[in-house]
A and B are shown apart, each in its own frame.
Chain A
Amino acid sequence: MLGVLAAVAPGFFGPANLRDILTGNAPVLVAAIGMTLVILARHIDISIGSQFAICGVAAGLLAKAGLPIPLAGLGAVATGALLGALNGWLVAGLGLPSIVVTLATMVMLREGLRWATEGVWVQDLPPGFQWLGLGQDAGRLAIPIVALAVFVLFAWGLRYVAAGRAVYATGSDAEAARLAGIRPRRVVFGVFVAMGALTGLAALLTAIQFIDVQTNAGVGLELRVIAAVVVGGTAISGGRGRLAGTLLGVALLGLVGPALTFLGTEAYWDRALQGLIILVAVAADAFERRPSGAVRG
């Protein structure tokens, strides 16, 4: 795909475009880090879109209430962690299936937010809100840097810190993990809290690119993120995958939209092509792993 682009539309590789794509997809990467953890632990979270919306609104409201902007940002992350804790309690504490739990929380959170805000955006924010007061150029640079820093942190942590390896262990075989001294329920709870906090961070990174907060943001985010994680090679059955793959997945899916625009395809074929890419990527991944025996469906 990149080859075709280089041939047909070299403008794609201009620095401004690449920077914009980087900044635009930084929040998706942050959320995808969290989703990778969740899927590694053999669960899923389809409520992050709603969490994203709430955290963005939280950041805006806290800033409006007079809190210093960095604290408002922390508030957004904390809100996310709390929402993640709700999911975590239901899944780890009560042992309920994560797909159904997060389906329920997805609907409840989004509808609850809509009811409370009636669709009105959070406006008239203090001027330091946009770019966290850093100004456009620094801000646009800071966002992908933060995302990459978080990425490196988690990538390192997953491999070298005991908690990280515990996630892998829990995902591949919870019983064996328990026998090895790991507490699977704690790991699962932690994973959902991390997901929530990272979603809050993603919401913050998005919100500060603008001067006000849309209250219905993040619709469809969960699908984008899950697709990126899976395309990146993390197995939906848990226990297998690397954050590096997720980075590639986010990059691939993030490039598709702008690439298609540069190639001149009509907008109404975008979604079909995205679906196709997901299917091809997953099929290719399965073919790659074929010789090693039965692939659990």
Chain B
Amino acid sequence: MAEPSGRAFLTHEHVLAVLVIGETALFAALGSHFLSAGNAAEVARASVEIGLLALALTPVIVTGGIDLSVGSLLGLSAVVMGAAFRDHGVPIGAAALLAVAVGAAGGGLNAALIARLRLPPLIVTLGTFSLFRGLAEGLTGGIQNYSDFPERFLFLGQGRFGPLPAQVLVLAGAAVLVGLLLHRMAIGRSLRAIGYSPEGARYAGIPVGRRLLLVYLLSGVAAGLSAVIYVARLGQAKADAGTGFELTAITAVVLGGTSIFGGSGTVHGTLLGLLALALLQNGLRLSDQPAELAGILTGVLLLGAIGARSLLSERKRG
């Protein structure tokens, strides 16, 4: 099936791939032990939480929407899980499932407001951004910090299968799932159609409400799942978990070539964008550069990416 923007797409991912290779070469030269198995494993491990969010945000942004609440929802899911486990004797497996359920509930709220009431995603998720974080703070009084999770649970966030950190498998699974959704199934096409023109999609018979419900629900579930991994990695659950994650995830998605206006986007693009960001941060740190520089260069990269995209689509339009 031909993508609407055909060759322009391929070119963006090519540029990204070149960028990633370039970063790797640069930091291998400048940083200490950048090109080691241990470092690669750690970069992968640290990227999983944002990666899950970015993967779920891709279909959301493809439909022309956005979800600013995923970081806050992560925090809420994390503290609910922590409270259930520590204060209510819920076994850890069930508590983790509860976290995912909270994520789904949050996603469902967004979905209901956006899909049924047809409210603008930016504002709805701005509201839930505050609401979810606020609920997390309220439930814990800000003070509670749940910890002392069992070893076998922490393995999910801190353990390895051979050289591979455990949570990377979760990310891989999610990538396959979202990839199938976006690229191989008819649903993916309908999402792009919605992003391109919601009214047109409706007239074409696409159940827009149901599709939107799906993507925002998925986004919520990803936040809940990400919360589980976050808690496993850090060994603690606090109300401020996931602060700022939504912006990093959105950056990864846009860097990966997904248009913020909707209508196009790929999973491999998002993964490449994620990788580019992770390598940048990690490489700069290993080269003894200050953390602020990573932030500045991230902004530069982002502008470069959308600039490139704009140039390419102009050229395509002739």
Contacts and interface: CB of A to CB of B under 8 A. Distances in A.
Interface of A: 44, 90, 94-97, 99-101, 103-108, 110-112, 114-115, 223, 226-227, 230, 235-237, 266-276, 278-279, 282-283, 286, 294-297
A104 B122 contact: no
Contact of A44 (B119, B122, B129): B122
B307 to A, nearest CB: 6
Interface residues of B, number: 51
Q: Is the interface of B mostly helix, strand, loop or mixed?
A: helix
Interface string B236-266: 0000000000010011001000011100000
B130 interface: yes
Contacts of B212: 297
Given A111-B296, A268-B138, A96 B121 contact: no
B119 A270 contact: no
Given A283-B117, A286-B119, A297-B119, A223 B299 contact: no
A271 B296 contact: no
Interface of B: 65-66, 113-114, 117-124, 126-135, 137-138, 140-142, 198-199, 212, 247, 250-251, 254, 259-261, 290, 292-296, 298-300, 302-303, 306-307, 310
Contacts of A226: 123, 126
B121 A297 contact: yes
B104 to A, nearest CB: 18
Contact of A275 (B122, B128, B260, B303): B128
Contacts of B126: 223, 226-227, 230, 278
B302 A100 contact: yes
A182 B162 CA distance: 64
Q: Is the interface of A mostly helix, strand, loop or mixed?
A: helix
A111 B302 contact: no
B302 A278 contact: no
B306 A101 contact: yes
Given A223-B129, A279-B131, 18 more contacts: A96-B310, A97-B260, A99-B122, A103-B302, A104-B299, A104-B302, A104-B303, A107-B298, A111-B299, A223-B126, A236-B120, A236-B122, A269-B137, A269-B138, A271-B133, A274-B130, A278-B126, A286-B119
Contact of B120 (A275, A294, A297): A297
A268 B126 CA distance: 19
Contacts of B124: 279, 282
B287 to A, nearest CB: 16
A146 B132 CA distance: 36
A269 B123 contact: no
